[in-house]
Structure 1
């Protein structure tokens, strides 16, 4: 390993250790309480992220070892299931457009018991803030995963002037620095982004914590098996059928 590789390893693992300590000290308990309560009430987790934060939603929804009552909301839904032409997805600024939320919300059609987990490193883009505001307007709890260091130093892009962290019921800091990068090369060129790594760790901590709580209360946690092991598909489809079209799984 090069010295730079070790530096990046340290930047990553030191943050993961801090997050593990937060979880061990009960810092994630408010989020776990909300998620567990929602699932026990028949709700599902509505996970939303744009840009690279889509990876967080994918880590929450529809993966082996993850909770089955989960749904990944994606901007592409307005083209796949809504009225928008697919060409809209070629706009790299789509995530900044708050006007997409109205149709995206209608497509998602959440049940009143559902809970929203919204991830955004910056926490200021229009679709992210708009979705959080819409969820709160309809009475849904919102958990935010964001960089508190970054979001506090940038200007909100939503007409409300709000940040995701200012709307959510519970805020989880992903510990990414301003600009996301942890190392520099050449003339202060930032590299070594960490928000995707810390967000994935947070997603897994939440999943594990909820599964532990459900098991402790005598329930069998509805967890996906890998589709690539014998019996995985049958197990998964049987549990997915309980939620019908409330959870969409597609390529």
Structure 2
């Protein structure tokens, strides 16, 4: 991206957003359709990630404008805020992801969404593998470039177990600046959040076309927000204990 490089970091980020549109536009529409089918059938969307990908779990769960039928699937050990080095170790530990997925007990018509930029650590790979084995389709939000450049800690990758792969186009190492030797300004959260927002937008359009009223959270900071959300809490609290 020589032109974008001359524009500095903003130009490089915008170029990567264009790359996401080109690489994942069709898959985003497929993901929206899969999610709509699941929600229409009263399924739950199980969302997982580790380390900084937990930012995307927060972005999908109990979020203004987001789906209410979302359950976070996670182990406290992969949260870097209370033991950063430990979180890396736990993400690489075999068996943790499989146990987390088994405890959540996803089943059709549920869907799983797993965020992992590299998709090479056991934790996200095992969650995807376990969900797929239970007949629950997996949407992988990952980067092909980052995965190819990452250390292989599992025989398979997250993408190998996914029904749909959303490529975030994050470069190996994540950092974007300076362009000649990137060492700062990570892009993975920006690109994954944009990808998820595109999924939600396509989901909204598809639901409108089908005449489906999606269960969506409203900001608690606007008039009527608490009342609207109370009905959703009553509907999902018994199935999503994290609420």
TM-score grouping bracket, smaller chain normalisation: 0.7 to 0.9
Give, in whole Å, the separation in 1 of the partners of 2:137 and 2:28: 15
Distance 1:16 1:179, change over 3 A: same
Q: What displacement does 1:148 show?
A: 0.3
Q: What displacement does 1:139 show?
A: 0.6
| TM-score, normalization by structure 2 | 0.87
Give, in whole Å, the separation in 2 of the partners of 1:191 and 1:48: 25
CA contact (8 A) 1:59 1:204 kept: no
Deviations 1:213-237 (A, max 9, x none): 1121112221111112222122112
Matches within 5 A, 1:1-251: 7-20=8-21, 26-76=26-76, 90-158=86-154, 161-184=155-178, 188=181, 190-249=183-242
Question: What are the ranges of 5 or more consecutive residues in structure 2 without an aligned counterpart?
Answer: none
Deviations 1:102-147 (A, max 9, x none): 4312432224211011010110111110001100110110011111
Give, in whole Å, the separation in 2 of the partners of 1:240 and 1:215: 23
Q: What displacement does 1:98 show?
A: 2.5
Give, in whole Å, the separation in 2 of the partners of 1:12 and 1:216: 32
Distance 1:89 1:195, change over 3 A: closer
CA contact (8 A) 2:106 2:134 kept: no
CA contact (8 A) 2:50 2:78 kept: no
Question: What are the ranges of 5 or more consecutive residues in structure 1 without an aligned counterpart?
Answer: 80-85
Give, in whole Å, the separation in 1 of the partners of 2:104 and 2:216: 22
Q: Secondary structure at the match of 2:114?
A: strand
Aligned length: 237
Structure with greater helix share of residues: 2
